[in-house]
Amino acid sequence: MKVLIVHAHPEPQSFTTSMQHCAVRTLEAQGHEVMVSDLYAMNWNPVASAADFGMRRNADYLVYALEQRENVSADAIAPDIAAELEKLLACDLVIFSFPLFWCSVPAIMKGWIDRVMVSGKVYGGVRFYDRGGMRGKRAMLAYTCGGRDFMFGPNGVHGEMDLMLRHMLRGTLGYAGFEVLPSFVGYHVPYLPNEERVAILARYADYLTKLDQLQPLAFPTLDDFDTEMRPRARVEQLSEQD
Ligand SMILES: Cc1cc2nc3c(=O)[nH]c(=O)nc-3n(C[C@H](O)[C@H](O)[C@H](O)COP(=O)(O)OP(=O)(O)OC[C@H]3O[C@@H](n4cnc5c(N)ncnc54)[C@H](O)[C@@H]3O)c2cc1C
């Protein structure tokens, strides 16, 4: 398969970057083709703006998503976006590789999502969840953090990690139609003895060899909703009460 790793860490010698290198080695050893978008190294521009469009459907008022659609169709989207979009459309699996920043992705990665996951190709109209543009592709988060695993357990002080990252897992990847694999997390990374960090890399390599055995996260099917996206069961229930 073709794998795209979207990587965001400002330090090339960081542990998170070691994880990214580990992913490239492991996946290539399995015969997969791996593309890496190293956002800091590319000096990726994360700011969505009018400068992203070579032509304008409405020059007086910027509706970003609408111009995305028009400019992609007209081949007039900014070249940096076009290059990333080509990789995204070509791949079977996207791995987002990052250190957790404020329970989210680093801003530079958020800017990749805003600019590259364009309306018209990735989502738009009722093209979301199981009708999303990324249907048939898989996606996964692979990240590091400072906190310990038990801090993010069901009774942990911060609550469950997947709930913290729901905006990515469901609001972005699930919404776009990806099959979302369970995340790989390296906890407490800066504070561990070296051998425990080395063990995380070994666990990550092993994880990447077993992707087909992972149970994807569950998201809604639009079959359960009517044309206005009201839950069908509820609509039927209400009409029974009338
Ligand atoms: C703005 C910001 C917000 C943050 N928000 C959160 C948050 O919400 N929740 C949270 O839990 N944490 C948070 N953190 C902490 C952050 O997530 C962690 O510091 C980060 O994930 C650690 O990963 P790293 O790659 O930066 O580690 P690094 O500091 O780069 O590496 C740690 C150590 O690993 C060593 N190392 C590098 N490569 C290897 C290798 N191959 N083998 C063994 N050791 C290696 C390095 O030399 C270093 O000593 C935040 C940090 C910042 C800056």
Q: Taking the chain (242 residues) in consecutive chunks of 10 residues, what is each chunk's mean pLDDT?
A: 98 98 98 98 98 97 98 98 98 98 98 98 94 98 98 93 97 98 98 98 98 96 93 71 54
Give one DSSP letter per residue of 131-177, joined into a string.
Answer: GSTTTT-EEEEEEE-SS-GGGGSTTSTT--HHHHTHHHIIIIIITTT
pLDDT at residue 233, as a whole number: 79
**Ligand 1, residues 9, 15, 148: which to mutate, most atoms within 8 A of Cβ?**
15
Give the helix/strand (H/E) hosting 20.
Answer: helix 15-29
Among 212, 216, 234, 225, smallest CA distance to 177 is for 216
Whether 165 lines ligand 1, by a CB cut-off of 6 Å, is no
Give the helix/strand (H/E) hosting 189.
Answer: none
Q: State the distance from the centre of ligand 1 to the C-alpha of 139, rounded, in angstroms.
A: 22
- Ligand 1 atom closest to the Cα of residue 102 is 8
The letter for the amino acid at 165 is L
Which residue, by CA, sits nearest to atom 32 of ligand 1? 190
Among 28, 3, 160, 233, smallest CA distance to 97 is for 3
Whether 151 lines ligand 1, by a CB cut-off of 6 Å, is no
Whether 45 lines ligand 1, by a CB cut-off of 6 Å, is no
126 CB-near residues (< 8 Å, 6+ apart): 222, 227, 229
Whether 219 lines ligand 1, by a CB cut-off of 6 Å, is no
Beta-strand relationship, 138-144 and 179-180:
parallel
Residue 96, phi then psi, degrees to nearest 5:
-95, 115
Among 172, 176, 170, 163, smallest CA distance to 218 is for 170
The answer to whether 122 touches 73, Cβ cutoff 8 Å, is: no
CATH class of 2-217: alpha beta
Q: State the distance from the centre of ligand 1 to the C-alpha of 145, rounded, in angstroms.
A: 6
Q: State the distance from the centre of ligand 1 to the C-alpha of 105, rounded, in angstroms.
A: 13
Whether 19 lines ligand 1, by a CB cut-off of 6 Å, is no
Among 228, 24, 6, smallest CA distance to 117 is for 6
pLDDT at residue 223, as a whole number: 94
Which residue ranges make up each domain of the chain? Answer: 2-217
Whether 171 lines ligand 1, by a CB cut-off of 6 Å, is no
Among 113, 224, 106, 220, smallest CA distance to 172 is for 113
